[in-house]
């Protein structure tokens, strides 16, 4: 019986180390797609899969990442279509999605704030403040 326990520990260690190496990449797809949702994202997890329609919302706790949901046919309640069994992986996932959202917002602000080349403001003639 101890052999099985050691084997399980080895499998758990291998799983943990492979999950730590899992590369996640978020791409913001839509800004303000529906009421209460700031954006949606697609998140690529390694070369394994892509989770589509991850929602970014703002609530009392700040930015919140919610997984896609499915309506259950007989109970009319909603359940997450995808979920993490490991809390640290979910936290890592949330941070990557939140960072991608903040970067997309920042890039929009920078694109708007930067004046185009050759579009410098000139003082109107006769409107000088000097005496």
- 8 Å CB contact between 43 and 97: yes
What is the pTM (predicted TM-score) of this model? 0.67
CATH superfamily label, 21-112? Stage V sporulation protein G (3.30.1120.40)
Contacts of 119-127 with C-beta under 8 Å, sequence gap 24+, read none
What string of pLDDT tens digits covers the 131 residues of the chain? 445 555 555 445 444 554 556 899 999 998 887 888 999 999 999 999 999 999 999 988 889 999 999 999 999 899 999 999 999 999 999 999 999 999 998 888 777 666 555 555 555 555 555 55
CA distances from 129 to 117, 120, 123, 126 (A): 26, 19, 10, 9
The DSSP letter of residue 117 is: T
The owner of tokens 């896609």 is 68
């Amino acid at each position: 019986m101890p052999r099985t326990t050691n084997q399980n520990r080895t499998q758990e260690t291998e799983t943990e180390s492979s999950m730590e190496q899992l590369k996640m990449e978020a791409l913001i797809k839509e800004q303000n797609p529906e009421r209460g949702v700031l954006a949606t994202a697609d998140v690529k997890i390694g070369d394994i899969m892509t989770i589509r329609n991850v929602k970014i919302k703002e609530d009392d706790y700040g930015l919140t990442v919610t997984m896609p949901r499915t309506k259950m046919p007989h109970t009319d309640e909603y359940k997450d279509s995808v979920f993490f069994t490991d809390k640290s992986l979910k936290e890592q996932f949330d941070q990557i999605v939140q960072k991608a959202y903040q970067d997309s917002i920042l890039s929009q602000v920078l694109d708007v704030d930067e004046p185009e080349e050759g579009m410098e403001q000139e003082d109107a003639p006769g409107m000088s403040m000097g005496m």
